[in-house]
Amino acid sequence: MTGRGNPAEKEEGEYMERTMPRLRGSAKISSRRRRKRSEYRILLLMLVPGLLYFLVFHYLPIYGVAIAFKDFKITQGILGSEWAGFDYFRQAFEDERFYVVLRNTLLISLYKLAFGFPAPILFALLLNEVTRARFKKFVQTVSYMPYFISWVVLGGIVISFFSMDGPVNWALKLLGQEPVLMLGDDRYFRGVLVVTDVFQSFGWGSIIYFAAISGIDHQLYEAAVIDGAGRLKRAVYITIPMLAPVIVIMLILRMSHILDAGFDQIFNLYNPNVYDVADIIDTYVYRKGLTEMQYSYSTAIGLFKSAVALVLVVATNYIAKWMGGKDHTLW
């Protein structure tokens, strides 16, 4: 249904033919063409602001990646700066720090995937078993809340929560353990990242699974009940298999974002003590570029990430299309 203009176009053409019968002479034909052209002219004019916007704010910056191939100096501008070819890319691939950052990005993404992907599914399955509508609604509403809070505020809450005199360390002391400043500790920082990320997204992420579950034919459940299937059996043999396509699609789409390890969250929670485990591509690009002013180097790394991400998105979309049919992809 997306973008297939041709059948509709033909229909429109036939419709025009039927309602405006061809009169003798070319006058009517050319006036029809004139009318259509002026109609399209207005439409195209309406499109101009939007196209201008995309051109300036999306395509012009793409041209700006030339910075990555030049020895960029602000005073000389993009055109005036010396050509550097792939020098900065070479620098990146020879930079030890780059591999640390790449490793962190992939690991953090994978950890978040391992815990954060099943969580909304399980939550949806559990909540689906609830029959009291008010309780269900309440739990759902509460679960969505963290999603609407920015990582500035949520970060502040996390920092307070995990601080030396915060609830987490209070609980640790109660259990006889030594209090630990987890947000400053290499060993625990990633754990905090994963846990708080799940906290923020499990509720919102469950919406799509709820929608999928509500689409399952009730008769399947009723038949299963008649056959004596209990709740667990019904969940395992009906709900989960019916959810499988959605789950696979969501998983594939998530893979396409694997290089985005969560800039907003990490930027607000990290500090130099944990750079070794928490520095991701986006935070590295930010520091190198805007604070250390290594513009060319930072742009090169950023371009690398965008290029890989593009390949990932296109590839995963094709895989999703191949597996699930046209309705589940981006286009």
Binders of another protein among residues 278 to 307 (CB under 8 A) are: 285-286, 289-290, 295, 298-299, 302-303, 305-307
Q: Of 111 and 267, which CB lies nearer to another protein in the complex structure? A: 267
Q: Tokens in use for 141? A: 């509403």
| Distance, CA of 280 to CA of 286 (rounded, Å) | 10
Q: Which of 21, 25, 50, 272 binds another protein (CB under 8 A)?
A: 50
If residue 168 lies in a helix (H) or strand (E), which one and from where to where? helix 167-174
- Whether 121 and 208 have beta carbons less than 8 Å apart is answered as no
| Distance, CA of 94 to CA of 282 (rounded, Å) | 18
If residue 71 lies in a helix (H) or strand (E), which one and from where to where? strand 70-71
Enumerate residues 82-121 that contact another protein by CB under 8 A. none
- Whether 258 and 312 have beta carbons less than 8 Å apart is answered as yes
Q: Of 9 and 276, which CB lies nearer to another protein in the complex structure? A: 9
Q: Which of 82, 178, 227, 327 binds another protein (CB under 8 A)?
A: 327
- Whether 243 and 209 have beta carbons less than 8 Å apart is answered as yes
Q: Of 56 and 323, which CB lies nearer to another protein in the complex structure? A: 56
Least separation in angstroms between residue 90's CB and another protein is 18
Q: Of 115 and 267, which CB lies nearer to another protein in the complex structure? A: 267
CA angle 268, 272, 278 (to 5 degrees): 65
Stretch that binds another protein, among 84-92, 94-102, 106-114, 122-130 (CB under 8 A): 122-130
- Whether 192 and 182 have beta carbons less than 8 Å apart is answered as yes
Q: Tokens in use for 226? A: 């008649």
Enumerate residues 155-184 that contact another protein by CB under 8 A. 155-161, 163, 165-171
How much is the CA Rg of the chain, to the nearest whole Å? 27
Phi, psi of 265 (to 5 degrees): -65, -50
Amino acid (one-letter) located at 283: T
| Distance, CA of 300 to CA of 180 (rounded, Å) | 38
Q: With contacts defined by CB under 8 A, how many residues of the chain interact with another protein?
A: 99
Least separation in angstroms between residue 277's CB and another protein is 19
Q: Which of 20, 29, 60, 223 binds another protein (CB under 8 A)?
A: 60
Q: Of 108 and 125, which CB lies nearer to another protein in the complex structure? A: 125
Q: Of 23 and 307, which CB lies nearer to another protein in the complex structure? A: 307
End-to-end alpha carbon distance in the chain: 10
Q: Which of 289, 281, 288, 270 is nearest to 99 (CA)?
A: 281
Enumerate residues 230-289 that contact another protein by CB under 8 A. 230-231, 264, 267-268, 285-286, 289
Q: Of 107 and 268, which CB lies nearer to another protein in the complex structure? A: 268
Residue 114: CB atoms within 10 Å: 10
Least separation in angstroms between residue 153's CB and another protein is 5
Least separation in angstroms between residue 180's CB and another protein is 13
Stretch that binds another protein, among 4-12, 24-32, 109-117, 237-245 (CB under 8 A): 4-12
Stretch that binds another protein, among 20-28, 47-55, 84-92, 104-112 (CB under 8 A): 47-55
Q: Which of 254, 313, 319, 321 binds another protein (CB under 8 A)?
A: 313
Q: Which of 47, 110, 236, 323 binds another protein (CB under 8 A)?
A: 47
DSSP-derived 3-state class of residue 70:
strand
Enumerate residues 207-226 that contact another protein by CB under 8 A. 207-208, 211, 221-222, 225
